[in-house]
Structure 1
């Protein structure tokens, strides 16, 4: 039976043998009582790494993002983000549901915002307008094909928010991919953001979990919100141990995923059923179908060859590389893609 090559997402990764061993030997306690040593170690490790005061381990990045938004807004406030942002598109309407805030959507190139885009959208103090209170950036940008911010781009956005009394939150779903790409230091991030969500279950390969970073006051509030969201976990150290292992062993290897993504992009740029490949910066490859083809038909043809991927629109597909796709599988996938002859839809 042909083994599937799974490019659907870097969330499909499975724990490595070393990670499983770390999980099985973790020191655990009841984290709701603050007694799980391994959870505390993970929270301290990440808050120290990003030079922030405290951290809070949660089941998912959606939860850390939504907790942060609730911490930084009040009902009738407005959140400013790109129209592609995960917090807006893929978190179940959580901004409205949890925080009763509206959203101001911008159109950054590949989802990357700038002060010039944000400044005109900050509302003046007027009874007719919601209060602009929070800007959310995403790094890397999922729907932007893994595009990433540099600290040089983030600094003036932080300065704009500070001048206007807005909070700044980072959805760091793939923040380590960005850091490996740009060479920036995680320790320099803390000075710019009021909250940072760090996901452990994507490229880093942990099975579960994200950590929200912020000030001691923010995390104190966030802990109570997590409880209300149903996110308080008991012997969560088994999961936190996987995150610690990932931070110790899986960051530098992300450059392999970036290299593999570029190889795939180069191959896709030379096949008849693809008209355009978005520039590759990290581990995401988004490509557009040529005239006569749809994402659905090409996805089905790829699946028939054992290559799994996902559609991001009616005429676009996405490949995501990760630690469970080997160099040999990349070579095999390129050979299959090069030979693939999907049937046109007209």
Structure 2
């Protein structure tokens, strides 16, 4: 799987429209001002009021007892599995899940865990598939300890797990003694699109987290929530993985600002994604997956242009996208306007005509 493009020279290869990922967002001026005004203290001893405020708000948002501020979403996933599992335990997740495809084998390297990939369309496994993968407790097989879902499913196309499916997975897991973990990197995208609250979406999940450095536009950070006992264990693993961030209120202030100002506007990103998909689908030979949130996957092969060549041609014209799992991925976000979407479609049409 190819994700990021080759290194580029910003002077020779200027990018005007960055559709590579929603991680490409930059803090707005108002967010920067909020960061500059932040009250700070030592996060290690619970003395940073802005970090404490952020954790309280996320715990409440997700309906959990407590939360902890982490540098990244990947660290949220890694610390969660380290807290939930023992070496030799088995985790079940979709075959394209971030914990399998995008975290450098951290769960095996650091925890000695086995992750079993479950098949399914659009980045999601069916509850029946999960049930079928369960086995009786036996000395011959690893203890099945955690089931993980990714909301939204990134490589699946930014698809949204239906609430009914989430609830059924929880029911099966609890009946069989498994812990439930939700990778909520784009959870709030799903909430805005479905109008289901984050608390309801995460109900029944023992641990869940949200990322602030994607569509919410903060420069850093994720917050993971769960029971107080679980968060105590996560803190121990945070210490082992590098420790606290000390006067982290400067970073937490960006996340608090994002909760106040950047959640509802995720709907704009979804509208831009639909507009991009609609425009691309009108070009002969372009195959487009209908977006549910802010991710648009498409193939230009039917138009006589390979995905790699399309990405390179767009890059030369100032538009940055990514190849992912044999498809082109475009990701709309805070720094992408409707006018940029129109220009991107026009450039794709130009490239296709040239081919």
TM-score band w.r.t. shorter chain: over 0.9
Question: What is the aligned partner in structure 1 of residue 3 from structure 2?
Answer: none
Of the structure 1 ranges 30-39 and 120-129, higher mean CA displacement relative to structure 2 is found in 120-129
Question: What is the aligned partner in structure 2 of residue 194 from structure 1?
Answer: 206
Shift of 1:342: 7.3
Residue 277, structure 1, aligned to residue 288, structure 2: yes
Shift of 1:132: 0.7
Residue 93, structure 1, aligned to residue 113, structure 2: no
2:316 to 286, 304, 325: 304
TM-score normalised over the length of structure 1: 0.95
Aligned equivalents of 1:234 and 1:267: distance in 2? 47
1:229 to 228, 238, 241: 241
Question: What is the aligned partner in structure 1 of residue 301 from structure 2?
Answer: 290
Question: What is the aligned partner in structure 2 of residue 173 from structure 1?
Answer: 185
1:9 to 21, 28, 39: 21
SS in 1 for 2:103: coil
Aligned equivalents of 2:273 and 2:90: distance in 1? 36
Aligned equivalents of 2:224 and 2:135: distance in 1? 27
Aligned equivalents of 1:211 and 1:40: distance in 2? 11
Shift of 1:338: 2.3
RMSD: 1.5
2:339 to 311, 315, 328: 328
Judge conservation of contact 1:51–1:189 (CA < 8 Å) in 2: no
Flag the 1:189–1:313 CA change in 2: closer, same or farther, 3 A.
closer
Shift of 1:123: 2.2
Aligned equivalents of 2:198 and 2:183: distance in 1? 14
Judge conservation of contact 2:123–2:157 (CA < 8 Å) in 1: no
Aligned equivalents of 1:339 and 1:294: distance in 2? 15
Aligned residues between the structures: 342
SS in 2 for 1:137: strand
Aligned equivalents of 1:262 and 1:231: distance in 2? 41
Shift of 1:310: 0.3
Flag the 1:256–1:78 CA change in 2: closer, same or farther, 3 A.
same
Residue 22, structure 1, aligned to residue 26, structure 2: no
SS in 2 for 1:340: helix
After TM superposition, the structure 1 = structure 2 runs for residues 1-346 of structure 1, keeping only pairs within 5 Å, are 4-272=16-284, 274=286, 276-291=287-302, 292-314=304-326, 316-341=327-352
Q: Deviations over 1:219-257 (max 9, x none)?
A: 011101001001421110000000000010001111110
Judge conservation of contact 1:267–1:337 (CA < 8 Å) in 2: no
Judge conservation of contact 2:153–2:160 (CA < 8 Å) in 1: yes
Shift of 1:120: 1.1
Judge conservation of contact 1:83–1:105 (CA < 8 Å) in 2: yes
Flag the 1:3–1:64 CA change in 2: closer, same or farther, 3 A.
closer
Shift of 1:114: 2.5
SS in 1 for 2:145: strand
SS in 1 for 2:352: coil
Shift of 1:293: 3.0
Of the structure 1 ranges 157-166 and 118-127, higher mean CA displacement relative to structure 2 is found in 118-127
Aligned equivalents of 2:297 and 2:153: distance in 1? 12
Shift of 1:50: 1.2
Shift of 1:3: 5.6
Shift of 1:299: 0.6
Flag the 1:230–1:67 CA change in 2: closer, same or farther, 3 A.
same
Flag the 1:125–1:342 CA change in 2: closer, same or farther, 3 A.
farther
Judge conservation of contact 2:97–2:150 (CA < 8 Å) in 1: yes
